[in-house]
Chains A and B, each alone.
Chain A
Amino acid sequence: MKFLNQFHKEATERKMRKIAASQQSPMNSSDFAQYMKHNLEIANQM
């Protein structure tokens, strides 16, 4: 994998570890869909 700079490499690797960890015990899909909708509402008010 190629990176833009060292920060990009470190941040990407850290975030990919977090995503992999979160997939070990994922929230159920209905709850996650609601969570996404809630995030969109928050974003639209920012």
Chain B
Amino acid sequence: MAKANGYWIPMMDVFDLGVPGPSGNENDTYVAEKVIYKVNNLLNSGSIVALLRKIFMHNYIFPDTAYSFYGFAGFDGRTVQPVIIQPRVADAHPATQVMIDTYMAALGFEKAATEGRYFNKTYEVWDLVPRNVLVDAEGDIFVVDAEIKAVTRAKMHHRCNK
């Protein structure tokens, strides 16, 4: 279906997306002129549907670094890895944990006991640590990678106070 609709990228063509950047747990990155392609191995998300849900939530909470869906890469008949696109954030460096805490508080999130983990009445966001969050010269914060899920408040308090 991905092939029929022009969304299939054979793994051998992935390097045509851009210059290889750093790789993370879940993503290999390829840098193009204006965007970064992320080839996602679903290690954190677990499924394509879960990844798309996470992207939807990311785009609501962090719209300045919103993802777009680009296609599927993989080895024909064996593996499928979604490819997503994110705008490049220029002139920024890793934010400190204090900066991240302050930013999330300004968005109305409470800090959980675990570093880099936050929640409000609807969402739990974690892995907001310096490798995933940038700050520019004016102090604006850009979250380029985050784990997010929607949860109920009761479950949240139970989880965060354990």
B130 & A43 in contact (Cβ 8 Å cutoff): yes
When distances are taken between beta carbons in the complex, the residues of chain A under 8 Å from B140 are 11, 14-15, 18
Q: Does B136 contact A (CB under 8 A)?
A: yes
* Interfacial chain B residues near A22, Cβ < 8 Å: 88-91
Q: Given A2-B60, A5-B107, A42-B93, are A23 and B88 neighbors across the interface (CB < 8 Å)? A: yes
Measured in the bound complex, the distance between the Cα atoms of B106 and A38 in whole Å is 28
In this complex, the interface size class of chain B, counting residues with CB under 8 Å from chain A, is 35 or more
Question: Are B94 and A42 in touch, CB under 8 angstroms?
Answer: yes
CB < 8 Å neighbour of A23 from B34, B96, B131: B34
Contact, CB under 8 Å: B142 / A39? no
Please tell me if the beta carbons of B31 and A29 are within 8 angstroms of each other in the complex.
yes
- Give residues of chain A (9-41) contacting chain B, Cβ–Cβ below 8 Å: 11-12, 14-16, 18-19, 22-23, 26-30, 32-33, 36-37, 39-40
* A46 adjacent to B31 (CB under 8 Å): no
Q: Is the CB of B130 within 8 A of A18?
A: no
Determine the distance from Cα of A6 to Cα of B136 in the docked complex, in whole angstroms: 20
By a CB distance below 8 angstroms, the chain B residues around A5 are: 107-108
Residue pair A39, B94 in contact (C-beta under 8 Å):
yes
- Which residues of the other chain, B, contact A19 by a CB distance below 8 angstroms? 64, 87-90
Let me know if B32 is at the binding interface, CB within 8 A. yes
Chain B nearest CB: distance from A3 CB in Å? 8
Complex Cα distance A20/B88, Å?
A: 10
Specify which of B21, B108, B136 is in contact with A33 (CB 8 Å cutoff). Answer: B21
Select one of A12, A27, A28, A36 contacting B64, CB under 8 A: A12
Contacts of A37 in B (CB 8 A): 21-22
B88, A46: Cβ atoms closer than 8 Å:
no
Interface residues of A (CB under 8 A from B): 1-2, 4-5, 7-8, 11-12, 14-16, 18-19, 22-23, 26-30, 32-33, 36-37, 39-40, 42-44, 46
